[in-house]
Amino acid sequence: MARNFKYWATVIVVGLGFAAAGCAASSDDPGNGSPVCGNGKLESGEICDDGNTTGGDGCSARCLMERSLCGNGNVDPGEVCDDGNTAGGDGCSASCQREGMSLCGNSMVDTGEDCDDGNMSNTDNCLNTCRNPRCGDGNIRAGMEECDSGAANSNTAANACRLDCKAPKCGDGVRDTGSPLNETCDDGNTVSDDGCSDRCVREPRCGDMVVDAPAENCDDGNRADGDGCSMACRKEPRCGDGEVQTPGESCDDGNTMAGDGCNATCAAEPGHVFELEPNDAFGTATPLVSINNQAHGSISPGSDGDYYSFVLAAGGDIRIETFDGTGAPNCTSADTEIELYAPNGTTVLASDDDDGVGNCSLIDPAGAFPDPGAAGLVAGTYFVKVMHYSGSTVIPGYRLQITALTQCGNGVREGGEQCDGGAGCSTSCRFVPVCGNRRLEDTEQCDDGNMGAGDGCSATCQYEVVNEVEPNNAFGTATSVGNPDKLTRGAFMPAADEDFWKFHLDARSDVLIETFDEMGPGKCATMDTVIELRGMDGTTIITSDDDGGVGACSLIDPATNTLARGLARGDYYVRVRLYSTTSTAAAYHLRVRVVAQCGNNVRESTEMCDDGNTTDGDGCQSTCTLPSVLETEPNDDGAVSSGGGSTTGNDFSSAMAGTPITADRLIDAKLMPAGDEDVFAIRNTTGAARSITVSTLGPAQCGSMDTYLHIRDMAGASLASDDDSGDGNCSTVTYSVPAMTTVFAHVFEYGDDAVIAAYQVYIQFN
């Protein structure tokens, strides 16, 4: 009875906050001695004793009450509750005493309570609300529940606490992807060898709807044959599934329609070849069988490269071009790069990125950007590689077309052939090099018409450097080189020195003039030159250039400079100097070359024709140009109106384009009045695709006119277009016309609002 009384007295003393100093020492005091603060027992002189001598926790180091800690969220000595605030009316008063009728935590089950275990714990059998615990209340009962997420408990959601407050586990039928389980499957049991192991790791097997490569290339959820995917999960041959199955199929374009290169039975249609993988090396190249066949392929993965082989039975010139998977003339979904390889499979003869339609590729020895490596090929087997430009992007589908432009040996000189049959003509239809015939051939560096040495061109037609003879700083004292195709050497000493050189043309010619530094052809690292081409009087400047050549050296090229074309027979002068009049140079080189000589029976450089003479009236003029014909008006829609836009025009009509042009043609035309537009029909009458080049020509390198050019189909859709890629502001377009197809050249003034009194249209079948 004494212990119970003491306990009651202690509670009262603490609650009242004073010390009963007159009470006798308790029998609990050790040896009936002085009280010990911090032993957890309330003894004489103590207001509290919380088992430690640490202050700040409500009971000081001397076992005296500290200031009230009510509202700190902890039930401290003297508090019945502490809800983290000092507001009343919420069940716990401002002095941390229970409010209302219920006294949850007083160890007595009061009205409205399910239980009262005298504490505020939520992890035992009575919650701090004096309610019975249950699974789903969001509180985890120690020893009874593994988890409890309240309303988020689920027997179907991954990684969730289950409805019985058990943690997710392997074998409960729910794939729990989160840590720590990281399940890849859960089939509701912990048995292995049934597709899902005893640790819920997927066991690959045919029929599970997952394609497990490489053993499987299909999985349709069953293990039956005859439905496209066999019982071993391998594709069963079926035409139209997009994959070539061998044996039985030579192509499969994902459909069973004919007319697209692969027929309804998955056999290649005539004129079409489908790549055969692997073909990523010349040794495994897909053969085209016939050179004019069209190849179908794809680039996958992005680093893929496809090789094709073709045979030239008689040699000649070829054109190689790509299109997207829909075929010519389209290229909206491909960006290709192609390379032409010699018969050894390793030597690159020519390559191209995007000279074709859109971002597709074109190798053409007679195109706007000529590829000489595709001309004059000897008979043999060659290779073409197709790849994506970046080398890292997939191309779902592309087409490759190789066209024989010429057939060496048929007795007809075609395309870039120098000859076809007869004495001095090689098996590749190139002239057999004959030094001294004044025609630059194959390995010759020069040919001045003789086999003598010491004149700048040796007896083997190799350069002999011609040195300047000072003084030569005026045309009257110019150093003569005789006929061109010579490499000369001079110096600019002292500062402001300049040199004149004289050369002679035996016939109307296109002339190329260029400078180099002291290292010779192809080098220009140490100087900046200026050159002038002067007329026969030595004073008239025909044309000039500063740094159009290598580095800061100079270049006059008839391919881009019309003033260096068709120079008449006679003597001409070249003036050479440094750009800076205060500089000097110990040595430089000058080369003058004839790149086309009219009348030598070889169509060269910018010549439109060359029939071996300089006579007019025989289909090729004495200037090696075509005789021009006048346009026939009206050749638009008949309702001339300006304002069609700078690049579109508004008077196109295929019906008024006239008789289709089927061979090279030079047309004299005009755009008058303002708003007039011209349309010309052009037809490829051959059985294979053929490249055409359409150019507008005008006076003064087209400096006084500005044209725009479209190649359109019959309905008026633009197939290719250009503003000023030709001379000056003139236009030029190269386009591959499909077999037996008519296209239309549509020409108008840029802006469609001004007159062009005279211009020419040059149509060339490459």
Summarize pLDDT for 343-367 with one digit per residue, the tens: 999 999 999 998 888 999 999 887 7
State the DSSP H helix or E strand holding residue 621, giving kind and residue range, or none if neither: none
- Whether 545 contacts 577, CB under 8 Å: no
Flag whether pLDDT at 92 surpasses 80.
no
Indicate whether 4 pLDDT > 50.
Answer: no
CA proximity to 732, closest of 284, 369, 407: 369
Q: 499-549 pLDDT, tens per residue?
A: 999 999 999 999 999 999 999 888 999 999 999 999 999 999 999 999 999
pLDDT band at 68 (very low <50, low <70, confident <90, very high): low
18 pLDDT tier (thresholds 50, 70, 90): very low
Residues facing residue 381 across a β-bridge: 311
Q: Which residues contact 385 (CB under 8 A, 6 or more apart)?
A: 282, 305, 306, 307, 338, 339, 341
pLDDT, one tens digit per residue, over 416-459 is 677 888 888 887 787 888 888 877 777 788 887 788 887 778 88
Q: Is pLDDT of 19 > 60?
A: no
Residues 306-339: pLDDT tens digits? Answer: 999 999 988 888 999 999 988 888 898 899 999 9
- pLDDT at 366 (0 to 100): 76
C-alpha–C-alpha distance, residues 47 and 16, integer Å = 9
pLDDT tens readout for residues 279-292: 999 999 999 988 88
Q: 104-115 pLDDT, tens per residue?
A: 778 888 877 888
Whether 631 contacts 667, CB under 8 Å: yes
Element (DSSP H or E) covering residue 66: none
Sign of the Cα pseudo-torsion (336, 342, 344, 346, in order) = negative
Secondary structure string (H, E, C) spanning 675-741:
CCEEEEEEEECCCCCEEEEEEEECHHHHCCCCEEEEEECCCCCEEEEECCCCCCCCCEEEEEECCCE
Q: In sequence order, which residues have a C-beta less than 8 Å from that of residue 86 and are 6 or more positions away?
A: 70, 71, 94
pLDDT of amino acid 102: 52
Distance CA 291, CA 406 (A): 12
Q: So what's the pLDDT on residue 322?
A: 95
* C-beta separation of 691 from 717 below 8 A: no
Q: Which two tokens stand for residue 329?
A: 């003339």
| Residue 753 CB neighbour total at 10 angstroms | 14
- Phi-psi region at 436: left, alpha or beta (left = phi > 0; alpha = psi -120 to 50): left
The Cβ of residue 285 has, within 10 Å, a number of other Cβ atoms equal to 23
Q: pLDDT over 90 for what percent of the chain?
A: 44
pLDDT for res 78: 66
User: Which residues are CB-contacts of 430 (< 8 A; sequence separation ≥ 6)?
Assistant: 376, 417, 418, 419, 441, 442
The per-residue DSSP string of 149-201 comes to -GGG--SSSTTPPPTTS----TTSSS---STTT--S---SS--SSSSB-TTS-
Angstrom distance (rounded) from CA 755 to CA 167: 87
Q: Average pLDDT for residues 563-581, to the nearest whole number?
A: 95
Answer whether residue 23 shows pLDDT above 70: no
Query: So what's the pLDDT on residue 10?
Result: 33
Mean model confidence pLDDT for the chain = 86
What is the pLDDT, as a whole number, of residue 31? Answer: 46
Give me the residues paired with residue 500 across strands.
Answer: 575
Tell me: pLDDT of 553 over 80. Answer: yes
What's the average model confidence in pLDDT over 123-149? 87
* % pLDDT > 70, the chain: 93
Distance CA 217, CA 621 (A): 67
- Lookup: tokens for 466: 């011609």
pLDDT value, residue 33: 61
Reported as a pLDDT band with limits 50, 70 and 90, residue 576 is very high
Residue 299 zone, left/alpha/beta (φ > 0; ψ -120 to 50; rest):
beta
Q: b or e along 633-656 (b: 16 or more beta carbons within 10 Å of the residue's beta carbon)?
A: ebbbbeebebebeebebbbbbbeb
- Of 134, 69, 70, 80, residue with least CA distance to 107: 80
Cα–Cα distance, 623 to 613 (Å, whole number): 10
More confident residue, 585 or 638: 585
**Confidence band of 701 (pLDDT split at 50, 70, 90):** low
What does the alpha-carbon distance between residue 628 and residue 614 come to, in Å, rounded to a whole number?
16
**Apex CA 622: angle with CA 604 and CA 372, to 5°?**
5
Query: Which residue did the predictor score with more confidence, 22 or 550?
Result: 550
Measured CA to CA, the distance from residue 140 to residue 150 in angstroms comes to 10
Taking the C-alpha atoms of residue 151 and residue 545, their distance in angstroms, rounded to an integer, is: 86
Given this model, what pLDDT does residue 333 score?
Answer: 86
pLDDT, position 631: 93
Query: For position 67, what pLDDT does the model report?
Result: 61
Q: Which residues pair with 457 in a beta bridge?
A: 463
Instruction: Taking residues 461-472, report their average pLDDT.
Output: 91
pTM, two decimals, is: 0.48
Query: What pLDDT, on the 0 to 100 scale, is given for residue 398?
Result: 95
Tell me the pLDDT band of 22, cut-offs 50, 70 and 90: very low
Residue 28: pLDDT over 70 = no
What is the per-residue pLDDT across 351-408, written as a single tens digit (0 to 9) for each? 999 888 899 999 988 777 788 899 888 889 999 999 999 999 999 999 999 988 888 8
